[in-house]
Chain A
Amino acid sequence: MVIDTNRCVGCWTCAVACKEINDEPLGYWWNRVLTTAPNQSTAAKAPASENIDVPYGVYPNVELAYLPVACQQCNDAPCVKVCPVQATFRREDGVVLVDYERCIGCRYCMAACPYGVRIFNWGDGERAPGGVIGYGKDYRVDGRLVFAPVRPKGVVEKCTLCVERIDEGQVPFCVESCPLGARVFGDLNDPSSDVSRLVRDGGAQQLHPELGTDPNVYYLPVARRVAAES
C-alpha cells in the first residue's frame, strides 16, 4: 500500500472505515491519523488527539501534515519473530495476520512493534450502538481464524489489510473509503503496478526504515507547502 501524505487532510475517514468494517471496540483504533510536521515520521511520538490539528511553528510561519498509521505489514516483522506460539504469522503474499485461536495474549508482539499499532483486548469491548456491524463473519486463512466480528478477550488484534476483501479481489476498505484518493493498493512484487511505480518514481518511503523491518506500507512525501512570509 502507498499512502500519499501530500493529499492526506487528516479527516480520519480511513480510520473510521477501519473501525466500521472491523467493528473495533470504542477506544480502540487499528488505524489512526497523527498530526505531524510535514514528512515527520515519528510514529512512536503518537500524540494524536492531544494535538490534533495543532500546527508546528509560529503564526503565520506554520506548517502541518498528517500521518495515517496502521500495521505496516513488514517483510521482516518483529511481531512475527517474537510470538512464542506462532499466532502472528506472515502469509506468502506478505499480509501479517494474527490467529486469534492461537494467541495467548502475552503481548510480546506489542512490545516488539515499533509502530504501536497492535491492540490488546483487555475485556469485552464496548461498541457503538446498533449491533454487530462491518464484515460480521469469521474469516479463516488456511484454517486459521484471522478475523472474527468480536475478537476474544485476551488476544491482540490489528489491521488485517482487509484480508477477507483482498482475497475476493477487492481493495482494503480504507483504500476504498479515502475521499482524497490518497491510498493506493496493489502488488509490490509486480513492477508494473501503480504501487511499484510510486515507490520507484514517486519517492515513497517506509516508516523508520533504519529499523530494518522493511514495511510494505509506503508514504509519498509532502511535496508542496510554502509557509507564509511574515
Chain B
Amino acid sequence: MTARFSRRAFIGGSAAVAGGVIAADRLHYFGIAGDTAGTAGAAEDVLTGKESLYRTGHSNNCDGACGHLVHVVDGRVTMVGPAAFGSTTIDGRAAPTFHPRICARGLSQISNTYSPDRIKYPYKRVGPRGSGRWQRISWEEATSLIATNFQRIQGHYGKTSVWIAPYTGSLSLIEGVVGAGFRFASVIGASAGDSEGDNEGDSATPAGWNYVLVDPTNPSNGGGFFTGHESVDFMNAKTIVFWANNVAETSIPDWRIMCDARDQNGTRLVSVDPRFTVTCSQSDDWLPIRPGADTALVDGIINYVIQHRLYDEAYIRKYTVGPYLVDRATRKWLRAGQAVKGAKNPRDYVVWDDASSSLKEASDPSVASPAILGVYDVSGRKASTAFQALADMAEKWTPEHTSKVTDVPVSQIVELGRLWGTSKPLAVRAGFGLSHWYHGDLHMQALLTLQAITGNIGVHGGGVTTFAGGLTTTAFDLVDWWNPTGKPYTVLEPMDFCSAVQSGKPFPVKAAWFMIDNFAQQMSDRNRVIAAMKELEFVVVSDYVLSATADLADVILPACTYFEKTDLLSSNNFYLQYMPKIIDPLFESKSDLDAIRLVAEKMGVGQYFDKSPDQYLRDIMHLGTPKADPTVQGLTWDRLTSEAVHLNTDPMPYVPFFDKQFPTKSGKIEFYVEMLVPYDQELCDHKEPVEASPTNPLFQRYPLVFLSTHTRFRTHSQYVNLPWLKEVNNGGQGFLEINPRDASPRHIADGDVVRIFNDRGHLKVRARLTESMKPGVVNCYQGGWDTMRVKHYIEGHPNNLTHQIAKPAQSLIPNFPSNAAYYDCLVQVERSEG
C-alpha cells in the first residue's frame, strides 16, 4: 500500500478531537480510546489519479440489498454512492420503479474495508484458547494445519465431526448464506449449518409459514421454503400492518415504498409493536402490545372478523380448508371413507353440501357450494367444518379478553378488526422480531390464518411478508452447487451445536470452521456457546475483523470484504446484482472461495473448487443453456455484468401463490394444521411465551422482558466499530432502554450503570430512560462487540442473557427445525456502582 495508507489508517493509538460546533452542542461525538487515527497532511490529501466507477451490490446481511456505485482512484475506493437498478426484466418487460437505495452503513463501507480492525495475515494460536496470543503464519502453513486437523479429526470421530458453521453475515451467492462452505462440507462429508441461512432466530416464522402454506413431506417442496411479496407490491395495499417490524429503521429503503403508498395512494399504515419505534411514530395507528402476546391479538381480530361476518366467504370456500370437516373428538380430518358411502377416494376430505343436505367427498363435482360453518353428527361422531372449529376456538377472544392478554386497548382491537374486515387488500409486513419467540411459528400461523379468512393471500397488496426475492426463487440451481458429488453434507442446526460438542448428540462435533459468522457473540445463550467452543479440538475462523468468534480460534484466516472479490447479490428484491472484484485483496486477505480451495486441494478435493467465481455463477444459473430456469431465461453474461436486471417474474410485482396453487397436502391454505394436533396447535390459539410471561414462576425474580433489537447503525455485529456510525450511535457504546416507571423504583437515573441479569448471565451498560419503552420491557441493541480488544458494553453482551430453548413442533419442517427465541427472555435490572 501507499505510505499514506499505512501511516494514516493503520497506526494505533488515539487522538482527541477538539472544538467545532459539535462540542458546543455537548454531543458525544468523540472517538473512544483505542480508535485509530492519524493526522492528515495537506499535500497528500488530494485525489489526482483517474477515477473508475463500478456497480456492485451490498451483500452484508441486510435485506435492503442496495446497489452501490463505487468510485476507485489509484486502486483505492474513495467513494460509495447509490446505484441505479435496471428498468426491465431479462425478457424485456417493464420492471416496477425501484429507486436507487443506500443508507449510512453502506456509505460507511469505505471505513469498513480500510478498518484498522482488519485481520491482515493468517495467524495460529500460541497460548491457551482465548488468550489472545497469536503467531503470524503463512497461508501455506495455515491451510496445511486446517487440512491435517480436519483429516485427523474426521478419521478419529467420523466425517461429520467437522462442522462448517452457517454463514449468515453475507447474503451473496458464492460466499453468503448459500455459499461455497456448504459445497466444501458436502465434498468432505462434514456437517454444516442449515443452508436456508435461517439459522438462529429466523426460523420460527418460516416454520409457521410452512405449516399453513407448504407440505413439508413432499420432496418437491425441498423441505420447506419461505418467501413473500416483492417490496413494491406494497404500493397495491389499501392498508399495511407492520407487525413487529421496524421497517423504517431496519430496512430503511423499503420504508420509502410505504411512504409512497401513503402519500400517493392514501394507504393506511398500522404498526404493532411493544416499543415506540420510528416505524410506529410514522404510522397512522400504533398498537402498543405486550411482547409475545401477538397471537392473542390476532385471535382477537379473527374473532371480531368472524363475529361481524367480515370474512371472505367465497375465498374461504374456494382456496382454504375451511369447508372440510374435522372430527372434533380426534381433531383429525374426517375422511370420505369414514363418512361417505361409496366414496371414490376414501382419503378425500368431507364437506357438507347444503343443496342436498348431505355429506359429500370434497372432490365431488356435484357440490357447488359446500358449507363453511356448521356442526354435524356423522354416525355418532361430532364433526364440524374447519372454519367452524376456528370460529369456536376464537370465540373466547372477545375484545375485552384480548385486551386483558395483550394490553392493547379495546377500542384499538375493535378498530383493527373493523379495518381488517373492510380494507382490502391488506398487507402484513412481519419482522423477524416476531420470529425471536418460542412460539414464533404460532405467530405466523395466526397471521396467515387471518389473512386466509379475509382473502388476502395470493393477491396483489396482500400476504404476510418478511422478505422475498432472488435467493428464494428457482433461478439458482443450489442443489448442484452445494452437492457436486451427490452426497450432501449432514445438517447440524446451530441450536444443536452445543449438545453435539458437549454430549455427542445427535453426533459428536470436534472441529469447526466459522466463515462470515460471529457465532460466539451472536448466538443465543452465549456463555454456553463459548464453553462448547472451548471444548472443540480445532477451531478455524475466517473473518475480515477480529471478532469474538475469532478470539476463540486456533487458526485465523484473513477474509476479504465485498469490494475485494467477485460474487452476486440477489436478495430481498428480484434484481441480479453482479458484484465484481473492485480492488485487490488488502494485505494477505483472500476470498473464502480461495481459502476453501487451498484447504480442499490439501484434502484431495481441490477439483471441486478449481473454477473462477464467474464460472461458478454461470454454472449455478446454467447461463445461456436450456437448463436455465424461466426466471433467468435469456440472460447473457454481458447483461448480467452491466446492469442490475430484474428476473423474469410472474406476476409483476411478484406475489407468491398468485395462481392460488398451494403446495400443501390439500392444495388449499391449511389454517387447520392436522399434523400439529399432537402439539395442541392445529389452530392458532394463543400460547404464552415459554419464558417471558407473567405466568412463569421465574417472573417473580425476573420481572422484565428483555429485548435485544436492531439499530440502524449496525447490521448485527457488522459496521459496529466504524467511527462515523459510532459518533451518531452513542460512541458505539451499548445502553439499556428502560421506561422511567421501571427505573424509578430501582433508583436508576439516566446514564447510570446498570446490571441486567438472569440465571444465564449478565450484562452491564448505562441506562437510557425513555418513554419509547413499554413499562415492564427493556431493550439493549444487540451486535456491539465484546471481544478481547473492543468492548461496546461495559461487561458482557445481550446474548449472555438469551437462551436456546427449541420448540419441538418446528421439527416438522426440515429446513426450519429450530429457532433461537432471543426475545422470549426475562431479566432483572439493578443499579450498579460501575
Contact = CB atoms under 8 A, between A and B. Distances in A.
A181 B252 CA distance: 11
Contacts of A212: none
Interface in A16-74: 16-17, 19-21, 23, 25-29, 46-50, 52-60, 62-65
B37 A26 contact: yes
B17 A179 contact: no
Contacts of B40: 124-127, 132, 150
A225 interface: yes
Interface in B626-673: none
B21 A119 contact: yes
A26 B723 contact: yes
Contacts of A49: 27-29, 727-730
Interface string B249-273: 1001101100110110000000000
Interface stretch (A85-93, A134-142, A203-211): A134-142
B104 A11 contact: yes
A9 B248 contact: yes
Contacts of A75: none
B10 interface: yes
B554 to A, nearest CB: 29
A129 to B, nearest CB: 4
Interface in B376-418: 409, 411-412
A133 B110 contact: yes
Given A136-B47, A179-B253, A129 B18 contact: no
Nearest to B7: A131
B773 A59 contact: yes
A199 B36 CA distance: 45
A60 B252 contact: no
A59 B73 contact: no
A133 B260 CA distance: 33
Contact of A228 (B10, B18, B286, B775): B286
A17 B39 CA distance: 22
B370 to A, nearest CB: 42
A179 B102 contact: yes
B561 to A, nearest CB: 12
Contact of A126 (B4, B25, B31, B771): B31
Contacts of B104: 11-13, 15-16
B426 interface: no
Contact of A179 (B42, B80, B252, B724): B252
A60 B288 contact: yes
A180 B259 contact: yes
A146 B758 CA distance: 57
A174 to B, nearest CB: 11
A50 B99 CA distance: 33
A149 interface: yes
Contacts of A10: 278
A230 B409 contact: yes
B490 interface: no
A120 interface: yes
A131 B729 CA distance: 23
A20 B771 contact: no
A2 to B, nearest CB: 14
B681 interface: no
B134 interface: no
Nearest to A20: B107
Given A9-B249, A132-B47, A28 B39 contact: no
A226 B285 contact: yes
Given A13-B103, A26-B31, A177-B107, A131 B256 contact: no
B728 to A, nearest CB: 5
B45 A150 contact: yes
Most chain B CB neighbours (cut-off 10 Å) among A27, A152, A173, A176: A27
Contacts of B8: 127, 129, 131
Interface stretch (A76-84, A110-118, A187-195): A110-118
Contact of B79 (A7, A54, A133): A133
B30 interface: yes
Contacts of B25: 46-48, 116
A106 interface: no
A134 B111 CA distance: 12
Interface residues of B, number: 95
Given A177-B102, A181-B256, A181-B259, A20 B79 contact: yes
Interface stretch (B112-120, B155-163, B321-329, B690-698): B112-120
A12 B103 CA distance: 8
A131 B276 CA distance: 40
B774 A180 contact: no
Contacts of A143: none
Given A11-B252, A50-B27, A133-B110, A224 B81 contact: no
Contact of A132 (B78, B723, B730): B78
B535 to A, nearest CB: 37
A181 B102 CA distance: 11
A201 interface: no
A147 to B, nearest CB: 11
Given A124-B40, A129-B8, A176-B81, A229 B278 contact: no
Contact of B411 (A13, A50, A137, A229): A229
Contacts of A134: 78-79
A150 B115 CA distance: 20
B722 interface: yes
Nearest to A23: B45
B498 interface: no
Contacts of A13: 102-104, 107, 252
Contact of A136 (B15, B46, B285, B774): B46
A152 B41 CA distance: 10
A181 B278 CA distance: 17
B622 interface: no
A3 to B, nearest CB: 13
A20 B249 CA distance: 21
B276 A60 contact: yes
A53 B768 CA distance: 11
Contacts of B724: 16, 19, 26, 128
A117 B252 CA distance: 26
Contacts of B87: none
B77 interface: yes
Nearest to B16: A126
Nearest to B251: A179
B29 to A, nearest CB: 5
Contacts of A15: 104, 728
A51 B770 CA distance: 9
Nearest to B29: A27
Given A13-B103, A128-B111, A131-B76, A27 B30 contact: yes
B164 interface: no
Most chain A CB neighbours (cut-off 10 Å) among B24, B256, B281, B283: B281
Interface string B1-25: 0101100111000010111111111
A130 interface: yes
Interface string B690-731: 000000000000000000000011000000001111011110
A135 B46 CA distance: 9
B284 interface: yes
Most chain A CB neighbours (cut-off 10 Å) among B78, B81, B248: B78
A43 to B, nearest CB: 10
B76 A130 contact: yes
B101 interface: yes
Nearest to A54: B770
Contacts of A124: 39-40
20 contacts: A9-B248, A11-B248, A26-B31, A26-B37, A29-B727, A52-B728, A64-B276, A64-B281, A122-B20, A126-B39, A127-B40, A129-B38, A130-B76, A136-B73, A136-B78, A177-B107, A179-B252, A181-B260, A224-B284, A226-B286
Instruction: Across the A-B interface, give the 6 residue pairs with the lowest CB-CB distance, nearest first.
Output: A136-B47, A130-B114, A129-B9, A122-B19, A27-B17, A64-B281
Given A119-B22, A226-B286, 14 more contacts: A11-B249, A26-B723, A29-B727, A49-B28, A53-B770, A56-B771, A59-B773, A62-B276, A126-B37, A132-B45, A149-B46, A227-B286, A228-B409, A230-B409
